C-alpha cells in the first residue's frame, strides 16, 4: 500500500471533508466577492490551515500512537471548543463591514491593511479549525496512521490523506464567477452569521 493508502483514503472520503468545510469556507468566499484567482488564493490559505492541523495530528499520532484513541472520551469537549472557536470566527467575519456591504452604509470600519490581514488570517484560521474537526474520515485516518508505528510514517500518511481530500476543493474558487452579484455577497455575510450561531449552539451542547 505504502503512501498511496492515505491518498486513496482521502480521495474516497473527501466529499465528507468538503461537507464539513463547506459551512465555513463557502460563506467566506461568497462574502468576499473576489475574482476566481482571488478565491484560489483564499482556498489555498484555507488548505494551508487544514494541512497544519493534519500534520499536527499526524505528529501526535506518531508520538503517542494508540493512546491517542484512548483520549476519545475527551472528543465531545474538544469538538465543542473547536465549534465555539469556529462560531466566534464566523460571527465576527459576518459582522465585519456588515453595515457597508449589507445595508449600503459607507462606514468603513477597517483600514486597507486591516482588511488585508483579515483576508490572510481568516481563511487560514478557518482551515485550521475545520482541520481539527474530528469528522468520520479523519478518525479513520488517525486509526490507519497509528498502524504505521513511526512519526515520519504517520505525518506522511496525513499529508497524502490531505492531498486526496484537496481534490474536492478545486471547484470552490469558481464561486468568483458570480462576484458581480451584490446579493451573493450579502447572502455570504448572512450565511456566515447563521452558520456561526449554529456552530455555537452545537459547541455548547457538546460541552454541557
User: Residue 16, interface with another protein (CB under 8 A)?
Assistant: yes
For CA atoms 163, 166, 168, 170, give the dihedral sign: negative
User: Residue 87, interface with another protein (CB under 8 A)?
Assistant: no
How many residues of this chain bind another protein (CB under 8 A)?
A: 26
Binding segment (CB under 8 A) for another protein, from list 52-60, 63-71, 81-89, 191-199: 191-199
Instruction: Measure the CA–CA gap between 11 and 198, rounded to whole angstroms.
Output: 28
Instruction: Measure the CA–CA gap between 184 and 175, rounded to whole angstroms.
Output: 10
Instruction: Measure the CA–CA gap between 18 and 14, rounded to whole angstroms.
Output: 6
Which CB sits closer to another protein, 60 or 192?
Answer: 192
User: Residue 29, interface with another protein (CB under 8 A)?
Assistant: no
Question: CA angle, corner 31, sides to 90 and 41, nearest 5?
Answer: 95
In this structure, what C-alpha cell is assigned to residue 96?
Answer: 465585519
Applying CB under 8 A, which of residues 6, 10, 27, 131 lies at the interface with another protein? 27
Q: Which residues bind another protein (CB under 8 A)?
A: 15-16, 19-20, 22-23, 26-27, 30, 102-104, 183, 186-191, 193-195, 198, 201, 205, 208
Amino acid at each position: 500500500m505504502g503512501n498511496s493508502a492515505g491518498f486513496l483514503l482521502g480521495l474516497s472520503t473527501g466529499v465528507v471533508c468538503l461537507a464539513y468545510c463547506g459551512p465555513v469556507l463557502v460563506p467566506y468566499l461568497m462574502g468576499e466577492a473576489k475574482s476566481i484567482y482571488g478565491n484560489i488564493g483564499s482556498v489555498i490559505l484555507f488548505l494551508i490551515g487544514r494541512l497544519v492541523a493534519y500534520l499536527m495530528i499526524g505528529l501526535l499520532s506518531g508520538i503517542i500512537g494508540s493512546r491517542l484513541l484512548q483520549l476519545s472520551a475527551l472528543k465531545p469537549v474538544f469538538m465543542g471548543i473547536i465549534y465555539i472557536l469556529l462560531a466566534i470566527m464566523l460571527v465576527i467575519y459576518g459582522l465585519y463591514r456588515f453595515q457597508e456591504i449589507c445595508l449600503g452604509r459607507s462606514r468603513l470600519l477597517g483600514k486597507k491593511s486591516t482588511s488585508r490581514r483579515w483576508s490572510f488570517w481568516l481563511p487560514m484560521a478557518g482551515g485550521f479549525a475545520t482541520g481539527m474537526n474530528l469528522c468520520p474520515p479523519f478518525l479513520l485516518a488517525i486509526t490507519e496512521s497509528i498502524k504505521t508505528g513511526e512519526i515520519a510514517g504517520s505525518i506522511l500518511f496525513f499529508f497524502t490523506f490531505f492531498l486526496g481530500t484537496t481534490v474536492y476543493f478545486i471547484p470552490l474558487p469558481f464561486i468568483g464567477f458570480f462576484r458581480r452579484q451584490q446579493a451573493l455577497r450579502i447572502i455570504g455575510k448572512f450565511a456566515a452569521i447563521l452558520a456561526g450561531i449554529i456552530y455555537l449552539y452545537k459547541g455548547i451542547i457538546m460541552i454541557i
